[in-house]
Amino acid sequence: MSAHVPAGHPLLVVIDPAARATDGESVRIAKDVLCAGAASVKMAFPESAEEAERALAHRGRRHLVVLGDDAALLRTVNALRRTRTLHDSPVAVVPIGPRSTLVRALGVPEQVPAAARAVLDGVERELDLLVDESGGIVLGTLSLPYGTPAAHTAAHWWTPVEKTARSLVRTLTSPIPVNGNPPARRQRLRVEADGVLLADLDEPVHEVSVRPAPTGLAEIFVRRTPGSTQVRARARTITVSGRDFRYRADSAITGPVRTRTWTVEPSAWRLTVPR
């Protein structure tokens, strides 16, 4: 479901420290577009998770805009969910940073000017969440099994300035997203969708993929061998168990765990996207 964003609404713009340090020009462009088009803009420059959460808690009736990457969006959604204000607080994001695959997949324009204009004249789209029993969330795609995380996590793109930014936001980025690490090859997993058994421990699986669907359910895909036909299902609750498996939730690798259950929260949050 989508709804038009009210014209001229006041904004709280939370600028992620990594975005400020790694791409100040894009931050400046986004600020110029937003300030030119919004009735009122308040800027927040948090240096820690605590400062970011205080800014969110005092936003009043302002619509929230995040200038940052996938990690910044995930931290924001997590913070709003912890305070039980997620559905009441439409979220907009202008992707600034190298890890914005999730943001783009959710329908936000890749280019900064277009994303900033969508904040001003876009629509609010209701989206589902996957939530596990430990409080972890998935906005996009869950995949498993996943191999042991590499010791070095996509550090190839960090320039000296960007290394400073990484140090600055170390307390804000947990777990650190891992890219380029190949999934493990076949693992014995038990996969249940609303109690229906899709895979059991007697035969290894090559890949399990889960993503929220627009129906209030999750889509589950199980592939036993590379190139084989997928087992497909839709369910509200997905439980996976096995011996010390890791999984990828959006861009972050988690584990090892022996069991995990994800439940769909329908229409849990609202994201501003272009009309």
136 with 75, same domain: the answer is no
Does residue 123 carry a pLDDT above 70? yes
Q: Which of 106, 19, 94, 92 is nearest to 62 (CA)?
A: 92
- Residue 141 belongs to some domain of the structure: yes
112 with 61, same domain: the answer is yes
88 with 115, same domain: the answer is yes
- Predicted local confidence at residue 258, as pLDDT: 96
Residue that wins the pLDDT comparison between 193 and 148:
193
133 with 59, same domain: the answer is no
Q: In DSSP terms, which residues pair with 68 in a beta bridge?
A: 95
Number of folded domains in the chain?
Answer: 2
pLDDT, mean over the chain: 85
97 with 204, same domain: the answer is no
- Residue 171 belongs to some domain of the structure: no
- Residue 133 belongs to some domain of the structure: yes
20 with 97, same domain: the answer is yes
Separation of alpha carbons 181 and 183, rounded Å: 7
143 with 209, same domain: the answer is yes
137 with 205, same domain: the answer is yes
- Out of 100, 121, 142, a domain closes at 121
* pTM beyond 0.85: no
- Predicted local confidence at residue 8, as pLDDT: 67
Mean pLDDT along residues 226-230: 85
- Predicted local confidence at residue 213, as pLDDT: 85
Query: In Å, what is the CA distance from 97 to each residue of 1, 21, 72, 94, 232?
Result: 29, 10, 10, 10, 34
Separation of alpha carbons 93 and 72, rounded Å: 9
For residue 216, give its domain range: 128-151+186-267
Is 178 in contact with 251 (CB distance < 8 Å)?
A: yes
- Residue 39 belongs to some domain of the structure: yes
Q: Which of 211, 177, 209 is nearest to 69 (CA)?
A: 177
| Confidence grade of residue 186 (pLDDT, cut at 50, 70, 90) | confident
190 with 63, same domain: the answer is no
Separation of alpha carbons 15 and 66, rounded Å: 6
Mean pLDDT along residues 163-173: 40
137 with 233, same domain: the answer is yes
Q: Which helix (H) or strand (E) holds 75?
A: helix 70-82
205 with 259, same domain: the answer is yes
- Residue 107 belongs to some domain of the structure: yes
144 with 49, same domain: the answer is no
Residue that wins the pLDDT comparison between 175 and 36:
36
For residue 68, give the CATH number of its domain: 3.40.50.10330
- Predicted local confidence at residue 201, as pLDDT: 95
